[in-house]
């Protein structure tokens, strides 16, 4: 496995944050170290303790370890762009939300809660030297049919999981370029309001 220093991307933070968040990023290559079921269940357990509206916990996870039938079925749901690099991920998963609350009514906060699950899972992964790369690019309806989920469930995110490392030169040129350089985010001034909403164009 590569030296950890080689795996970090520059994160130009404006204010101090914990190293676990500062050093987390979403690679498209992974080391050859397999992901074990024990490691995955630690990630899933961390997500299990995420906050949710009324503690309804609307999250569901479908997963597969590379070499398994479940892995291949998840992979077949990915779009071509993501298949180019995710084929080497040691594990794949799909994040699914139950859109109904226990009373059968629409759960407005289900997507938010599922996001908290996966974010908590990703922080746990980072603490273990494991990378989590979330993907929007997959066939949502195909996944629902493939894994036989009822109509009220919505597949939202595909996830590649593996240990940091690997050789970016294996990727197509455009994807290899994405593996290098520093990370970027909008400045807080564009989305934090200490009072009324202010259009970005009005921000000096």
Cα distance between the two ends of the chain: 46
Backbone angles phi, psi at 170, to 5 degrees: -75, -15
**Assigned domain for 158 exists:** yes
Mean pLDDT of 137-161: 98
**Assigned domain for 8 exists:** no
Lowest mean pLDDT segment, chosen from 44-58, 119-133, 174-188: 174-188
What is the structure's pLDDT at 200?
64
Q: In angstroms, rounded to a whole number, what is the distance separating the alpha carbons of residues 25 and 43?
A: 16
**Assigned domain for 40 exists:** yes
User: Is a pLDDT exceeding 90 seen at residue 181?
Assistant: no
**Assigned domain for 86 exists:** yes
**Assigned domain for 187 exists:** no
**Assigned domain for 169 exists:** yes
Q: Is the pTM of this model over 0.75?
A: yes
Mean predicted lDDT score pLDDT of the chain: 92
Span 129-138, pLDDT tens digits: 999 999 999 9
Strands (E), 86-171: 91-98, 130-135, 153-163
**Number of folded domains that form the chain:** 1
**Assigned domain for 41 exists:** yes
Residue 92: give its domain's CATH number: 3.40.109.10
User: Is a pLDDT exceeding 50 seen at residue 80?
Assistant: yes
**Assigned domain for 7 exists:** no
What residues contact residue 102 under an 8 Å CB cut-off, 6+ apart?
56
| Domain that residue 143 falls in | 33-174
């Amino acid at each position: 496995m590569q030296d950890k220093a080689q795996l970090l991307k520059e994160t130009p933070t404006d204010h101090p944050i914990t190293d676990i968040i500062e050093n987390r990023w979403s690679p498209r290559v992974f080391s050859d170290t397999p992901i074990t079921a024990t490691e995955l269940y630690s990630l899933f357990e961390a997500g299990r303790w995420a906050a949710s509206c009324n503690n309804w916990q609307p999250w569901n996870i479908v997963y597969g370890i590379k070499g398994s039938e479940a892995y291949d079925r998840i992979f077949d749901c990915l779009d071509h762009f993501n298949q180019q690099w995710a084929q080497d991920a040691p594990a794949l998963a799909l994040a699914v939300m139950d859109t109904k609350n226990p009373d059968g009514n629409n759960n407005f906060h289900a997507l938010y809660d599922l996001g908290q699950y996966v974010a908590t899972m990703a922080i746990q992964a980072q603490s273990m030297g494991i990378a989590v790369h979330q993907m929007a690019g997959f066939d949502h309806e195909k996944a629902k049919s493939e894994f036989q989920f009822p109509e009220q469930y919505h597949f939202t995110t595909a996830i590649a999981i593996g240990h940091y490392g690997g050789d970016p030169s294996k990727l197509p040129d455009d994807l290899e370029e994405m593996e290098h350089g520093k990370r970027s985010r909008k400045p807080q001034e564009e989305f934090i309001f200490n009072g009324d909403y202010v259009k970005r164009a009005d921000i000096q």
